[in-house]
Amino acid sequence: MKQKFATKSTKKLYRVLKDLEIKSILEFWDGHKHVDMYIPDAKVYVEVDGLQHYTSPIQILKDFKRDHYSKMDKIDTLHIPNEMLENHLEKIAKAIKGIVKKRQNK
């Protein structure tokens, strides 16, 4: 298993979520694959995606398969393009916090 390292964008989101008191795990291994971040309280994987996730048919098909298996484990995946995170980090983090709050109240 190759060691993965969090990208700069993922680390920024992690820090903002931590400031918002949202527990997350960077470069989480679910037993089959690495995900950029896992938020256990909401059962959400967060993937911060580069352009290839939207322009490469091979990568898109891989992502479909990864998301399918995550769904089977009852975990949703939130895909965030790098560009969106660069321009809207605080808004995205607050929206994720809202998801965590709603799911904790179920």
Backbone φ and ψ of 56, nearest 5°? -105, 115
Model confidence at 1: pLDDT above 50: no
Q: Using an 8 Å Cβ cutoff, are 92 and 80 in contact?
A: yes
For the chain, give the mean pLDDT.
Answer: 92
Residues in CB range of 51: below 8 A, 6 or more apart: 81, 82
Model confidence at 2: pLDDT above 60: no
What are the tens digits of pLDDT across the range 46-103?
Answer: 999 988 999 999 999 999 999 999 999 999 999 999 999 999 999 999 999 999 999 9
The model's pTM? 0.89
Q: Which CATH superfamily is domain 14-100 in?
A: VSR Endonuclease (3.40.960.10)
Domain ranges within the chain, ordered by starting residue:
14-100
